[in-house]
Amino acid sequence: MRIAIIGYGKMGKEIELHATHNGHVISHVIDFDNINEIKKINSSNTDVAIEFTSPSSAVKNIISCFENKVPIICGTTGWYSELDNVKNFCSKHNGTLFYSSNFSIGVYFYIEIAKYASKILNELSGYNVKIEETHHTQKLDSPSGTAISLANNILPFLQKYKGWKKPDNCAHNYLPISSKRIDDTTGIHALIFESDADIIEIKHTAKNRKIFAKGAVLAAETFYNKKGIFTMSDLYNTIV
């Protein structure tokens, strides 16, 4: 395939390595210093775009790909408040969007395990629940999209919590999500159940960015020729 990379930071470079290793060709590399060249990405020269940029630019990049008939895989988080608007543009242009807060298949399994544990522990009294996430200092959004996705997936099973909030503004009936930013930390997510007697911790640690690049390229390979909006659950269903 001919792949355009939008966002040439650490993830963009990792995607380039994995894509070329899989035999794909890089049609364009777009970064902040040549962002206007995104208009050159179109269906005549590119089969799919993979986008890892910033919350402030992601929606513009997605819409540009829709307008130029290029399927897009988006790993940027922090823009989901505009998802309804993006869905309308996707429908209008008969486009293709695959988006995820985390492209690790392992994280998808992790969330499924967390849902099961939450369902069981909800039946037991005395446990308070919290989420802790740690990422590198360059990550702009906080909490991480994965932490928010984890919270939204387990909250239906936790009757004592009405929603989630950051710890500094969190009443007892809200699930707290705390964030840390530490140099050279790829990504750690921990779901913690704590009582007076014990602590149960379910954790996922990304050792490096390779797993995210592998997942993003796999999503591109799987969905570039399909129309509509897709997520990791759709990818999971194609491989199990």
Domains and CATH numbers, the chain: 2-99+210-239 (3.40.50.720), 105-206 (3.30.360.10)
pLDDT tens for each residue of 127-168: 999 999 999 988 878 899 899 999 999 999 999 999 999 998
Task: Find the catalytic residue in 93, 115, 139, 210.
Answer: 139
Query: How far is it, in rounded angstroms, from Cα 61 to Cα 56?
Result: 10
Task: Find the catalytic residue in 18, 24, 135, 204.
Answer: 135
The 3-state secondary structure of the chain, one letter per residue: CEEEEECCCHHHHHHHHHHHHCCCEEEEEECHHHHHHHHHCCCCCCCEEEECCCHHHHHHHHHHHHHCCCCEEECCCCCHHHHHHHHHHHHHCCCEEEECCCCCHHHHHHHHHHHHHHHHHCCCCCCEEEEEEEECCCCCCCCCHHHHHHHHHHHHHCCCCCEEECHHHCCCCEEEEEEEECCCCCEEEEEEEECCCCEEEEEEEECCCHHHHHHHHHHHHHHCCCCEEECHHHHHHHHC
pLDDT for the residue 98: 99
Query: How far is it, in rounded angstroms, from Cα 84 to Cα 38?
Result: 23
Beta partners for residue 174, in sequence order: 163
Mean pLDDT over each residue of the chain, to the nearest integer: 95
Query: How far is it, in rounded angstroms, from Cα 118 to Cα 153?
Result: 10
pLDDT tens for each residue of 58-103: 999 999 999 999 999 999 998 999 999 999 999 999 999 999 988 9
Binning pLDDT at 50, 70 and 90, where does residue 13 land? very high
Beta partners for residue 97, in sequence order: 72, 229
135 is catalytic: yes
139 is catalytic: yes
Closest CA to 107 of 153, 76, 159: 153
